[in-house]
Copies of this chain bind each other. A is one copy, B any other.
Amino acid sequence: MNKKTVLSIDDDENLQIVITQYLEADGYKIVTAGDSASALEKADQHLDVILLDLVLPDGEGLTLIPQFRSKTSAGIIVVSGKSDTTEKIVCLEMGADDYITKPFEMRELSARIKAVLRRKEPSNDSPAAPKESEDTAEKIAFEGQWILDRNQYQLYNKDSSSAELTTGEFKLLEALLLSPNKALSRERLFTLTRDGEYDVYDRAIDIQIARLRKKIGDDTKSPTLIKTVRGVGYMFTGKID
């Protein structure tokens, strides 16, 4: 459920294979269609981006744009074999979000998909996004025992003793506490607490969670504070005071 879904509509099966492999490696879920009819069928499922080749065997590529537009909020990127301004404009005016000309590099397609998705779903750190009051609190108390001091980047017990968290551990706990009782994926935790690119096989967040649990005395087998949501990530289940 967490992967973005891309519908790629093209009768060129070789290109479909290339696109599928590349974007799957990029973390997307790919659905393919070779003509308009099956494309419309597949548009019934939840889609995030539609890659639409204009030249389809049943000649209806262009007419698909308004159909998709009225059917789904997915971003529509037109894939065309020619760099024709009129065609670009017509597509954009009919509702497409972007236009890319074959032959293109997969990196460019990937970047354009990301840009379209970014506008579709405003970044969580968008200045337009209202922050909950909790997000600006200097301290977060939980379980009647702990206080996370966000100015000091540290966690204290009720007797004022420091848990001696590293900055990384602090940030991880902070991220969990800001979304209590909500499972956060490893990728999300990574993005919230660090810079750089996330690798789906990375175990670093797991290790960090283990180290954090050890410092706050949470038992893995019957956790009261940080629960593992298997196949998803981690969730704070303690009681915010």
Chain A, residues 210-232, CB within 8 Å of chain B (1/0): the string is 00000000000000000001111
Category for how many chain A residues contact B: 35 or more
Against B, the Cβ 8 Å flags (1 = close, 0 = not) of A39-83 are 000000110000000000000000000000011110100000000
Most interface-central of A1, A112, A168, A171 (chain B CB within 10 A) = A1
List residues of A (1-24) whose CB comes within 8 Å of B's CBs: 1, 3
- Complex contact B127–A230 (CB within 8 A): no
CB of A192 closer than 8 Å to a CB of B: yes
A182 touches B152 (CB 8 A): yes
Copies of this chain per assembly: 2
CB distance from A122 to the nearest CB of B (A): 7
Q: Write the nearest CB–CB distance from A33 to chain B, whole angstroms.
A: 13
Structural contact, A181 and B151, CB atoms closer than 8 A: yes
Among B89, B122, B183, B192, the residue within 8 A (CB) of A111 is B89
B92 close to A114 (CB less than 8 A): yes
Cβ proximity bits A230-241 to B, threshold 8 Å, 1 near / 0 not? 111001000000
B168/A73 in contact, CB under 8 A:
no
Shortest distance in angstroms between A137's beta carbon and chain B's nearest beta carbon?
Answer: 14
Closest Cβ neighbor of A109 among chain B residues: B89
Question: What 15 new A-B contacts, CB under 8 Å, besides A45-B192, A73-B122?
Answer: A1-B174, A31-B191, A45-B188, A46-B135, A71-B127, A73-B126, A73-B128, A85-B108, A88-B111, A89-B110, A92-B115, A98-B98, A116-B119, A149-B181, A152-B181
Instruction: Report A's interface with B, CB cutoff 8 A.
Output: 1, 3, 29, 31, 45-46, 70-73, 75, 85, 88-89, 92-93, 95-98, 104-105, 107-108, 110-112, 114-116, 118-120, 122, 126-129, 135, 149, 151-153, 166-168, 171, 174, 179, 181-183, 188, 191-193, 195, 229-232, 235
